[in-house]
Structure 1
Amino acid sequence: MSSSTPSLSDCEAKPQHTSHHSKASSFTQETESPKKAVIDERALIRKIDIRLVPWLALLYLFNFLDRGSVGNAKLYNLEADIGITDRQYLLALTAFFFPYALLEPATNVILRRLKPSKWIPITMLLWGIVMTCHGVIRNFGGLITVRVLLGATEAGLYPGIIFYLSSWYKRSELATRVAVFFSSATLAGAFSGVLATRIVKMDGVGGKAGWEWIFILEGLATVVLGFLSFWVIQDFPDTAKFLTPEERNFVIQRLQDDQKFSAAGESFSIKYVQQSLRDWKTWLAMGIHMGLDGPLYAFSLFTPTIINQGFRATEANLLSVPVYAWGCILTCIIGVLGDRIGTRSYINFALFSTGIIAYIILIVSKSAALSYFAVYLAVSAIYPIIPNSVAWVASNVEGSYKRSVTLGMAIGFGNLNGAVTANIYRAKDRPWYRLGHGLVLMYIIMGLLCSIAYAILLRRENAGRERGERDEVIEGLENKRGNAINGTYESVEAARIAKGDDWSGFRYTL
Structure 2
Amino acid sequence: MEKPAVEMAEDLHKVSTMWEKDLEAKNPTIFKGELADDPDAGLSEEEKAKIDRRLLRKLDLRLVPWLSLLYLMSFLDRTNIGNAKIDGLQEDLNMTSTEYNNTLTIFFVSYAVFEPLTNVLLKKLRPSVFIPIIMVLWGLCMTFMGFVHNYSGLMAARWFLGLCEAGLFPGIGYYLSCWYRRAEFGIRMAIFFSAAALAGSFGGLLAAAIAQMDGIGGKHGWCWIFILEGLATIVVGVASFWMVHDFPDEAKFLSEADKRRVLRRLAADQQSSAEHEEFKMDYFWASVKDWKTYTSAVIYMGCCGPLYAFSLFVPTIINELVCYSAIKAQLLSVPPYAAGAVATILIGWIADRTRQRGLCNIFVSLFGIVGFSMLLGAESPGARYAGTFLGAMGIYPAIANTIVWAGNNTEGVYKRGVTIGFVIGWGNLNGVVASNIYRGEDKPRFFPGHGTVLAYLVLFELGGSLVQYILLRRENAKRRRGERDYLVEGLDERQRDLLGDKRPDFIYTL
TM-score by length of 1: 0.90
CA distance in 2, matches of 1:365, 1:454: 33
Give yes or no for the alignment of 1:508 onto 2:505.
no
Superposed CA offset, 1:41-85 (max 9, x none):
101100000000000010111101101110000011111111111
Match of 1:457 among 464, 467, 471: 471
Q: How does 1:142-161 map to 2 (within 5 A)?
A: 142-161=153-172
For residues 457 and 239 of structure 1, the distance between their equivalents in structure 2, rounded to whole angstroms, comes to 38
Tell whether 2:315 aligns with 1:304. yes
Tell me: CA distance 1:246–1:28, structure 2 relative to 1, closer, same or farther (3 Å).
farther
- Within the candidate set 427, 444, 448, 1:435 is matched to 448
CA distance in 1, matches of 2:302, 2:281: 29
Q: Cα offset for 1:33?
A: 3.0
Who is 1:363 aligned against?
Answer: 376
Encode CA deviations 1:383-415: one digit per residue, 9 max, x unaligned. Answer: 111121111111000001100000000011000
Cα shift at 1:265:
2.7
Alignment of 1:136-147 (within 5 A): 136-147=147-158
Partner of 2:226: 215
Once the two structures are superposed, the pairs formed by residues 60-459 of structure 1 within 5 Å of their partners are 60-308=71-319, 309-310=321-322, 311-445=324-458, 446-459=460-473
Rounded Cα–Cα distance in structure 1 between residues aligned with 2:307 and 2:188: 20
Given that residues 489 and 495 in structure 1 are in contact (C-alpha distance below 8 angstroms), is that contact kept between their aligned partners in structure 2?
no
Superposition deviation, residue 30 in structure 1: 5.2
Q: Does 1:466 align with 2:467?
A: no
> How far off is 1:495 after superposition?
2.4
Q: Which amino acid aligns with 2:279?
A: F
Secondary structure in structure 2 of the residue aligned to 1:264: coil
Alignment-derived partner of residue 494 in structure 1: 495
Runs of 4+ in 1 over 2 A off after TM superposition: 27-39, 261-267, 486-490
Within 2, Cα distance between the matches of 1:505 and 1:28? 24
Aligned identity (percent) is: 49
Kindly tell me the number of residue pairs found equivalent between the two proteins.
471
1:324 offset after TM fit, Å?
Answer: 1.2
Match of 1:50 in 2: 61
Cross-structure match for 2:28 = none
Equivalent residue letter for 2:248: P
In the alignment, is the contact (CA less than 8 A) between 1:28 and 1:253 conserved in 2? no
**Closer/same/farther in 2, CA of residues 489 and 135 from structure 1, 3 Å limit:** farther
1:424 aligned counterpart, secondary structure: coil
What are the superposed Cα offsets for residues 445-485 of structure 1, whole Å, 9 maximum, x if unpaired? 122111111111111111111122211xxxxxxxxxxx3xx
**Contact 1:186/1:327 (<8 A) preserved:** yes
Listed as ranges, the gaps of 5+ residues in structure 1 are 1-26, 472-482
| Partner amino acid, structure 1, of 2:361 | N
Give unmatched runs, 5+ long, in structure 2. 1-31
Distance 2:197 2:273 in 1: 33
Look up the equivalent residue of 1:98 and give its one-letter code.
V
TM-score by length of 2: 0.90
1:256·1:263 contact (CA, 8 Å) conserved in 2? no
Between 154-163 and 357-366, report the one with greater CA deviation. 357-366
Equivalent residue of 1:380, what SS?
A: helix
- The CA distance in 2 between the partners of 1:125 and 1:270, in whole Å, is 31
Amino acid at match of 2:77: D
User: Structure 1 CA distance, aligned partners of 2:489 and 2:160?
Assistant: 48
| In 1, Cα distance between equivalents of 2:191 and 2:457 | 23
1:267 shift after superposition: 2.4
- Separation in 2 of the partners of 1:279 and 1:142? 41
1:178–1:335 contact (8 Å) kept in structure 2: yes
Report the CA distance between 1:254 and its aligned residue: 0.5
Does the 8 Å contact 2:39/2:257 carry over to 1? no
Partner residue, 1:19: none
CA distance in 2, matches of 1:30, 1:386: 35
State the one-letter code of the partner of 1:315.
Answer: K
Structure-2 change in CA distance of 1:143 and 1:34 (3 Å): closer
Corresponding letter in the other structure for 2:240: S
Question: What is the CA distance between 1:342 and its match in structure 2?
Answer: 1.3
AA aligned to 1:313 is A
State the Cα deviation string for residues 297-345 of structure 1 (Å, max 9, x = none).
0000011111112211111110011111121112111111111111111
Q: 2:346 is matched by which residue type in structure 1?
A: I
**Hey, what's the Cα distance between the residues in 2 that align with 1:429 and 1:145?**
27
Q: Supply the RMSD in Å over aligned alpha carbons.
A: 1.6
Range with bigger deviation, 29-38 or 336-345: 29-38
